[in-house]
Amino acid sequence: MVAVYGLGGYVAGRMRRRGMATEDETEARDGVHGLTVWAIGMILTGILAAGALSTGVRAAGNAASTAVEATGAAVGGALQGTGQLAGGIVGGAGQLAGGAISGVGQLAGGAITGAGEAAGGDMGGNPLDYVTDRLLRSDAAAPQQFSDEAIRSEVLGILGTVLRTGEVPEDDLDYLRAALAARTELTPAQIDTRVEQAVTQAQELRAEAEARLEEARAQADEALATAEQRAQELQAEAELRLQEAQDAAIEAAESARRAAVWSALFLAVSSLVAGVAAWLGAIRGGTDRDAGRVWTGLTRRRA
């Protein structure tokens, strides 16, 4: 660039018409012509540089936008994966607990329903049936007044209550003893043993159901804790990726800023040197013009 402006200044000084002036004035006019060439060149260079700069800025903006979008997509994907994973694990834990609770209910309901089917009736273990039986029970000491189906229904209601609550009222025990005494020829001791066995079996079914429920709750709590831990890990990973992307963007911007500063400084110094070269080239061209010399290759000769 310095050589080009020097040559342009030389041509401008050489082509200027010589005027009647002192030597210093002539050199000053020749130098101003050289600076004029330099100024015009700077204007044209500035226009071209502005166009290139705007294109570069647009390209940098597009690249930054693409990088930001890619970073946002990566972080959003990681967070979405975190939510999906946590939701899936929590949902699985809920299904596990719900399945266990449903199994407990099916166990209790199946026991009651099975007893009802064995009794030959359509009884589903409705607690209101038990309340109704107690309300309409005429005399616990005279169960022979009931039919076989009625006796089975009420016994089923009593055992179902034991299965649900784990307890049995004393009047229900009396009713069971009286029912067995009316239907069997067992001794009172045998009747008490059989009633106690039936109540114990119902309580064991309840204990088994509660144990399954507690196990399901423990598994659900463990699965939930695992989900929370995994979600925290994925969130930390997503935040780390975001921070890395931000650091990379800041570093790229800082590098671009330093490059722009050094480029501007280099262009400024080069422009000043080019201006001096144009000034000196114009003076040299004016001197050759006044002396009547021309350039032939690398040597000079007088015209």
Q: Residue 120: pLDDT above 50?
A: no
The predicted model scores a pTM of 0.45
Percent of the chain with pLDDT over 90: 16
CA distance 72 to 66: 10
- The pLDDT, as a whole number, for residue 99 is 54
Closest Cα to residue 209, out of 93, 75, 111, 85?
111
- Condensed to tens digits (0 to 9), the pLDDT of residues 201-218 reads 888 988 999 999 999 999
- Condensed to tens digits (0 to 9), the pLDDT of residues 240-250 reads 999 999 999 99
Of 24 and 42, the structure prediction assigns the larger pLDDT to 42
Residue 221: band (very low, low, confident or very high) from pLDDT cuts 50, 70, 90: very high
Closest Cα to residue 231, out of 75, 95, 92, 81?
81
Triad 71, 72, 74: Cα angle to 5°: 65
CA distance 263 to 267: 6
* Average pLDDT across the chain, whole number: 74
Are 9 and 277 in contact, with CB atoms under 8 Å apart? Answer: yes
Domain boundaries, the chain: 2-62+243-302, 80-238
- The pLDDT, as a whole number, for residue 7 is 84
Arithmetic mean of pLDDT, 14-37 = 78
- The pLDDT, as a whole number, for residue 211 is 93
Q: Residue 278: pLDDT above 70?
A: yes
- Condensed to tens digits (0 to 9), the pLDDT of residues 72-88 reads 565 555 556 555 655 55
Ranked by mean pLDDT, which of 52-56, 96-100, 143-147 comes out on top?
A: 52-56
